[in-house]
Chains A and B, each alone.
Chain A
């Protein structure tokens, strides 16, 4: 959901923003174009390909200064981004599904080297069987890699979030993954507002500035990059005497990141007039709701539409879209969910032998409550299976029934699958 600011006029009023009809992939490409990115390294994969195609056009037409590296694999795409970011450049790549899986090893390295790389993940189901359509199994595979993960609901948000991502990454010194649902967003045309180039340039503070660090053997504070004037070694062997502490730094950085995501989101809202909840969670009709459903990504809109419909019929239902998945907003979510009788958690992925990945997080968020809502996990939409409003309504009716009974029998349910 996009909230256009009503209180105060945004710094860049809508009439100064360009209204364009683009699909999600193009929106990301345009955002990256405006972000003064030095290196884009990417390999094509459906449904991400349009990002790379569009960006190649910008490069071919000389509209950007970016060095585009058409790498031979996603593994090399992320590897090249690590090299570029370590050299002091602003770097971007995009991928999906199996491509993200192939990047997996280097995702950890990018995060551990604290490199502010931005990655657009156009969410797609993992093989086998091979499937090119949307689910979140790819994003969930990278959830422990140390990346900040933000899920966009629509094309406008994909654009806005990509711009925010560079600022978040460079402030938090952590890489950021911007998730947009494959085909539902990547290939769907929407009218979106785009900021003027110079506004984005100013928002980001110009080209990337490399964070400084004190180095004992140089006896001074230097930019943490590969610089022949200040030789530093990146990515050394780190044994049991230091590795643990380095991991703790990442833990601390993730804690800080939540604040940074909020700050950057708010700053962007002031600039553009567009905000997405508080930048972390997007609640809707949750105040007095007996049943609240949590959801990620593009399904958020469908669920909200159903909530609106059910509210008109007098049902006390609400929903909260989780925009920031890593670091996970446990406290904030607990505050919102604590009054509900039943919480339904929608997952577009499953951890085989367990539940959906976001169910585990929501469960953890609620564990400390004295009076816990009942929890049900709905796994839906795997491999791009459509989730029409009727199905979402059916889910709400089941949850309302559970609320009445006060007990949940089947915790793991599948929405819209043939039996």
Chain B
């Protein structure tokens, strides 16, 4: 759109994902790593400015592997947005739009409606275009909840992917509705009288289940096959779908740069972040490692395993805070028990 001086065209074309109009695309779902690496290109290109060790671009890559055809991405304001599109550069290999912080779901609603209207009048050279939203926890649990709820209620055919790094990381680690209890953030600091965040985490995925949209799931980039399958399901259902993906942030969680995937594993192993999906008519179903834990409860690890590698929970592991740790464990157990009671495939 700009006419100001821009970088000269590069010799090597960028590895864009081009979906030619009129061509049939229904890329098959594949879960073979070698095949994925050879055949599928990620929609996030190299050179983005996300922090080293960030889980968000891994999530975007995994989502890319689940695409079935022409796709448009809407992005809420957040780390993923600011670090991938610093003008005049963009890291997006597919059409992408950022509108504002709280309205990614409404923007996607408009895109979806435009696609429908243009298709109706024969002006869209594609059979179908998938619309996917990426938004962080701030833009989803908090300021974006209204637009998300509206989109879900109206039934727009959009897959909304929440990458949850459990705080407002982009502005310097402030607590959000997605921040877990006792976590240190810059607006829920660990002080002399208050030990981190005083409230529990908003059950966002359950709130989306309550909307009774066709598909809701949780996922982590560590459980990659599970995640790709879920994304594909979310795209394929007719109507809104919601995926809650855990996205460790080494800056805010105060963990080592190479631990994002390990922490995702620990989050699932401790049942802090259980993997499940919910489908209309089928109910809650545990998946992947969480299903294994439900079948073999001895696999469930104590919450310390999740907390001990993160600086934001350092105070919880001090001897004088043993009671807080116990509270945390009780919170995790209650959420897990509740899920076990609801999951149709959990052993009763």
Contact = CB atoms under 8 A, between A and B. Distances in A.
B97 to A, nearest CB: 4
Interface band, chain A: 35 or more
B93 A234 contact: no
B114 A233 contact: no
Contacts of B114: 38-39, 67, 83-85, 87-89, 91
B96 to A, nearest CB: 5
A66 B70 contact: no
A231 B94 contact: yes
Interface in A72-112: 72-73, 75-77, 79-89, 91, 105-106, 109
A83 B107 contact: yes
A411 interface: no
Nearest to B82: A237
A81 B4 contact: no
Contact of B118 (A38, A113, A235): A38
A114 interface: yes
A226 B2 contact: no
Contacts of A83: 74, 97, 99, 106-114
A41 interface: yes
Contacts of A70: 154
Nearest to A241: B87
A81 B103 CA distance: 11
Contact of B7 (A73, A77, A216): A216
Interface in B283-321: none
B95 A71 contact: no
Interface stretch (B16-24, B172-180, B228-236): B16-24
Interface in A226-265: 226-239, 242, 245-246, 249
A342 B1 CA distance: 45
B57 to A, nearest CB: 15
A109 B113 contact: no
A239 B154 CA distance: 36
A213 interface: yes
Interface residues of B, number: 65
A239 B49 CA distance: 14
B21 A76 contact: no
B335 interface: no
B110 A79 contact: yes
A70 to B, nearest CB: 7
Contacts, number: 200
Contacts of B125: 229
Given A79-B107, A229-B20, A238-B87, A72 B9 contact: no
Given A41-B110, A69-B113, A217-B14, A237 B86 contact: yes
B68 interface: no
A41 B113 contact: yes
A129 interface: no
Contact of B106 (A71, A87, A91, A216): A71
B111 A207 contact: no
Interface stretch (B143-151, B268-276, B325-333): B143-151
B152 to A, nearest CB: 10
B107 A80 contact: yes
Contacts of B90: 233, 236
Contacts of A87: 72, 110-111, 114-115, 118
A65 interface: yes
Contact of B102 (A38, A75, A91, A232): A75
B34 interface: no
B81 A237 contact: yes
B113 A67 contact: yes
A314 interface: no
Given A79-B106, A84-B114, A228-B70, A235 B97 contact: yes
Contact of A73 (B74, B81, B146): B146
Nearest to B71: A228
A237 B85 CA distance: 6
B117 A231 contact: no
A37 to B, nearest CB: 9
A84 B94 contact: no
A235 B81 CA distance: 9
B128 to A, nearest CB: 10
A167 to B, nearest CB: 19
B116 interface: yes
Given A83-B110, A234-B98, A236-B87, A72 B4 contact: no
B120 A65 contact: yes
Most buried by B among A65, A113, A114, A239: A65
A105 B94 contact: no
30 contacts: A38-B121, A41-B110, A65-B120, A67-B116, A71-B109, A76-B146, A76-B150, A79-B100, A79-B106, A79-B107, A81-B110, A83-B109, A83-B111, A83-B113, A86-B111, A87-B115, A88-B118, A109-B99, A216-B9, A226-B111, A230-B18, A231-B16, A233-B96, A233-B98, A235-B98, A237-B82, A237-B85, A239-B87, A245-B2, A246-B2
